Amino acid sequence: MTEFVNHHEATIRLAFFFGILLLIGLVEILAPRRPLTTSKVSRWFGNLGVVVIGTVLLRGIFPVTAVQLAFWVDQKGWGNV
């Protein structure tokens, strides 16, 4: 089971993301909690844009920042015993 999950992690994550997105969309359509002030298409496009930007930043900037921090700490000699 663990091997299956490790091998198909990206597919499982994507399936859960779109499944929950679909569920939330259906709840929003069937039982809105307040009247619309902007169109759903506009709002959903903006929200998905935030998800894409967040993912790019998380996958691109954070690993680079961690490596830069490791090089800087090494140059300072911190942690050397």
For the chain, the structural domain boundaries read 1-35, 37-81
Alpha carbon separation from 5 to 8, 21, 52, 55, 75 (Å, rounded): 5, 21, 24, 21, 39
Share of the chain above pLDDT 70, in %: 99
Sign for the CA dihedral angle at 47, 53, 56, 57 comes to negative
Nearest to residue 33, comparing CAs of 24, 42, 20, 41?
A: 24
For 58-74, write each residue's pLDDT tens digit: 888 888 888 899 999 99
**What is the pLDDT at residue 59?**
87
Residue type, 38: T
Instruction: State the residue for tokens 């663990």.
Output: 2
pTM over 0.75, yes/no: no
Confidence of residue 54 (pLDDT cuts 50, 70, 90): very high
**What is the pLDDT at residue 81?**
66
